[in-house]
Structure 1
């Protein structure tokens, strides 16, 4: 007797998901701690904010020169072409340096320790551009005739403050760093200013610096919350995915182990039955005293016990092997046309002697002229015998067992075994239907079973595409119903000598 080598198991692969799961749990806890932090953020989200800031600057690289060039053209009207050209060149150079810094930021790997330096570089670049706007803010509109320069100054500074806040909000304090000095010069210009319109516009610009600083900070915090929530969601999804993979792997291994067990038992039929048949055969020879008298009543009693125990063990082995073959997919149905009523009557005859010896009444209720069923006769007989054996086993003396065969509402056929025994509690029905499961009545009974009869019935009915139902109430009895579908009921064809055929 030889056995196939068991499949090798990669224990390392089992450990790797567990380690990964632990790493993800630590990362998740870190994300939650960062979410709860006040005032500071970790390097991961600082990096993401800087990346988004750099991306915004690079995307706006062709837009940023427009307000500078428009302002330079306006300054040429009020100051002349030479100062305006110099201012435009300096301002464009500052914005070009800021965009170049953004491009360089994304072109090289940056350690966490270097993020603060890059943030300082960005703020320095914005401060340099702010100095260009300080020059515009420092110009006194009173030195120019009319109100045109004051309106020009107000419009340009307001647009630049708002656009900077919208483009660079992911960089903390970008608006105050860029325009705080310009706001100071605007405030200084209000001293001794008699023009109410100019005072109002200057006040609006100073308020705009504060307002857009607040708006920029709100947008930055909103973006930060979005990053944190997205990171937490991604980590939760990764953790759930890892847990699913581990669960699938565990389920696969459990299924493989169960299948290996079923295959092992299914192939052990000969090895288990051969020595048991020898025990039964020799015990029968000794019980019949074929080779001479045993000489002692005690020995005779021992031989009868050996034979009885051997038969019980053989029945148990047969049930285990049947269920194992079904689970291993090695139970092949030998299908043919069978008469359900005829098989039920045969099974009644088998159990009737044992039932009457126990004082039970057994009767059948069969519908007439049922057509044949396309099924495995041995499997159908085992279904009915298992149900009858259970009923006889647990029905008390004086009880009644009724076997019914008939049509279902869906034009299928059914076999029902009903008794008036102690019944099964509703909560115990799933236990009774499970492999080796036994209810409290079976536990207390002196005639306990193996807990395999009903699972075998379920499996055999399922192989026939049918349905098994177990209905029971305490102190009222139990009804077990095996239902075969309509697809297995054979049509009744008229005989060739039928007068209807002869007329044709």
Structure 2
């Protein structure tokens, strides 16, 4: 059903369609940021350099070991001295690069010095590339392409390309500074031999370099995507934490304000009740002319107005006190066995005179032999009287109020009050159930009220573990139902026989009853 904003100027009727929580707005903004972030060119330079440095630090032992293996194998053809020279220079080159990585990780620099560290990393890469280029350009005059020596640098560079891709994939295109120079030099030297095997190995080297570069680029993009998602998740979590803290703070302030309001109302109500009782007492004495006639009918009318207004104000104060006790959790139930039909019948008798004066018929329909209910009798009477009083306010002359008492589908008990009044618009039902809330029809046509009856009834029903339902159809009437669970229904016990010496009573059988009767 579509919601409509009431045209009434009552301050208690509000349009609730545009209410949005702060946390909902924050979540929507964070989701918008997360969905648009993937289209922005976020580089995450610091995280990429950090991953590059950590990869090389983790391979501190593996890199010199790989260089040593290549040198040992090469020494068989190039001799021990050149192999040792190449090993020392290459290990020193890797040592310089690893030292730069260690210093970067320990420096804790932020993103302001990234350009400085990137230049240092590139310098270290160039040193490593220079050393591997020495292996690529070394020529064995006595060796041919079919010898094992020609296969050794070819295989070593393929492994070097793979290692470089694994360690430097987050560095972007600059990883070519390390692997491309020795690859180009060795591929060129092999192709310049003008032999088919040289062309094949040179082509394989260049193709492998291109392949490893594209693999490294794909890995780089995957890392960027993972970093972007992590960044978005962290932003969303931060925004949600902020919204939750704001919500908790707002709830705390609302609870404090509500508690202060309840204390204020309770205090002021007690302070007002004492002089109000005096006003009611003296006005009643003057109205009944106990101490003598007033002598002026106008004054007598004024006294009647004072007494009626004071009675209404006292009723308002009592309802405020009841609601304050319930909201503060100080309302205690004095539970006992209560029969709903008796409570509703008493309430009907209390409003019967007013109903006859107004020309409203009140009927009571109850199921027979219903067991008692474990409840607070005073609270039950207050619920019944409030509902009947409300129904009588809104029911026009010649209308009808129907009271029904029966069983619920789950074995509990309920009673409902149905009237033939003007009804309540659906969008105003939350308003009339709130404290001091009144609907537009109540303000225009009903008798004077406080707006506290239904909230008190709803709270008392919930204190009995029950359920409160209000259904209304405009221009047809309203039905209010208070239902109570099966756990509060007292089970009826059958007739028992006391044998005198037995500890417990037992049910009387039909045969025993017939024998005693005879």
Is 1:486 paired with 2:498? no
Q: Separation in 2 of the partners of 1:110 and 1:470?
A: 66
For the 8 Å contact 1:266–1:328, the answer to whether it is kept is no
CA distance in 2, matches of 1:169, 1:500: 89
> Hey, what does 1:292 align to over in structure 2?
292
Q: Could you say which residue in structure 1 is the equivalent of 2:78? A: 79
CA shift, 1:299, in A, is 1.3
Alignment of 1:109-128 (within 5 A): 109-128=108-127
Shift of 1:219: 2.3
Provide, for residues 180-235 of structure 1, a one-character-per-residue CA deviation record: whole Å limited to 9, x for no partner: 33244235426653201111211221233333333323322332332232122102
In the TM superposition, what is the alpha-carbon distance from 1:154 to its structure 2 partner?
1.4
Distance 1:176 1:51 in 2: 19
Distance 2:35 2:460 in 1: 53
CA distance in 1, matches of 2:410, 2:266: 36
How far, CA to CA, are the matches of 2:334 and 2:326 in structure 1? 14
C-alpha distance in 2, partners of 1:32/1:427?
Answer: 36
Q: 1:77 to 1:477 in 2, by over 3 A?
A: same
Deviation at 1:248, TM superposition (A): 1.3
Give the secondary-structure state (helix, strand or coil) at the position aligned to 1:173: helix
C-alpha contact (below 8 Å) 2:164/2:179 kept by paired residues? no
Please state whether the residue corresponding to 2:418 is helix, strand or coil.
strand
Q: What is the 5 A alignment of 1:295-306?
A: 295-306=295-306
Tell me which residue corresponds to 1:10: none
Give the SS at the match of 1:291: coil
Partner of 2:336: 336
Write the mapping of 1:30-429 to structure 2, written as runs, cut at 5 A: 38=41, 41=43, 45-140=44-139, 143-145=142-144, 146-186=146-186, 188-189=188-189, 192-429=192-429
Give the C-alpha shift of residue 72 in structure 1.
0.5
- How far residue 422 of structure 1 moved from its aligned partner, in angstroms, is 1.9
The residue that corresponds to 2:435 in the other structure is 435
Distance between the aligned counterparts of 1:311 and 1:34, measured in 2?
67
Determine if contact 1:417/1:481 at 8 Å carries over to the other structure. Answer: yes
Q: Are 1:186 and 1:206, in contact at CA under 8 Å, matched by a contact in 2?
A: no
User: Contact 1:150–1:198 (CA<8 Å) still a contact in 2?
Assistant: no
1:8 counterpart residue number: none
8 Å CA contact retained: 2:496, 2:508: yes
Q: Which moved more, 1:407-416 or 1:103-112?
A: 103-112
Task: Answer whether contact 2:51 2:170 (CA < 8 A) is retained.
Answer: yes
Moved more, 379-388 or 286-295: 286-295
Deviation at 1:496, TM superposition (A): 4.8
Q: In 1, Cα distance between the equivalents of 2:237 and 2:354? A: 62
TM-score by length of 1: 0.88
Aligned to 2:453: 453
Q: Deviations over 1:67-94 (max 9, x none)?
A: 2112112211111111111111211221
Q: Report if the CA contact (8 A) 1:372-1:490 is conserved.
A: yes
CA gap 1:55/1:32 in 2 versus in 1, 3 angstroms: farther
Cα deviations across residues 357-388 of structure 1 (Å, max 9, x unaligned)? 00111121122222222111110000000111
Residues 330 and 268 (structure 1), Cα distance of their counterparts in 2 relative to 1, 3 Å cut: farther
State the match for 1:13 in structure 2: none
User: Hey, what's the Cα distance between the residues in 2 that align with 1:497 and 1:255?
Assistant: 57
Q: Is the 8 A contact 1:137 1:153 kept in 2?
A: yes
Is there any run of 5+ residues in structure 2 with no aligned partner, and where? 1-21, 499-505, 514-518
Q: Secondary structure at the match of 1:468?
A: strand
Q: Deviations over 1:19-42 (max 9, x none)?
A: xx99xx99x98x99986554x84x
Work out the number of aligned pairs and report it. 477
Tell me the alpha carbon deviations over residues 294-333 of structure 1, each in whole angstroms, 9 at most, x when there is no partner. Answer: 2322211111111111111111111121111111111111
Runs of 5+ consecutive residues of structure 1 not aligned to the other structure? 1-17
Higher relative contact order (CA 8 A, sep 6+): 2
SS of 2:295 mapped into structure 1: coil
> TM-score, normalising length from structure 2?
0.85
User: Is contact 1:165–1:174 with CA below 8 Å preserved after alignment?
Assistant: no
CA shift for structure 1 position 293: 2.8
User: CA shift at 1:58, angstroms?
Assistant: 1.1
Tell me, in whole angstroms, the C-alpha distance in 1 between the residues paired with 2:36 and 2:446: 62
Contact 2:49 2:171 in 1 (8 A): yes
Alignment partners' CA distance in 2, 1:448 and 1:294: 29
Task: Label 1:426 to 1:113 Cα distance change in 2 as closer, same or farther (>3 A).
Answer: closer
Secondary structure of the residue aligned to 1:447 is: coil
- 2:175 partner SS: helix
Give secondary structure in 1 for the equivalent of 2:62. Answer: coil
- Offset at residue 497 of structure 1 (A): 6.0
For 1:143 and 1:443, the matched residues in 2 are separated by: 113
**1:156 shift after superposition:** 0.9
Displacement of 1:446 in angstroms is 4.2
* Counterpart-to-counterpart distance in 2, 1:192 and 1:51: 41
What CA RMSD, in Å, does the superposition of the two structures yield over aligned residues?
A: 2.7
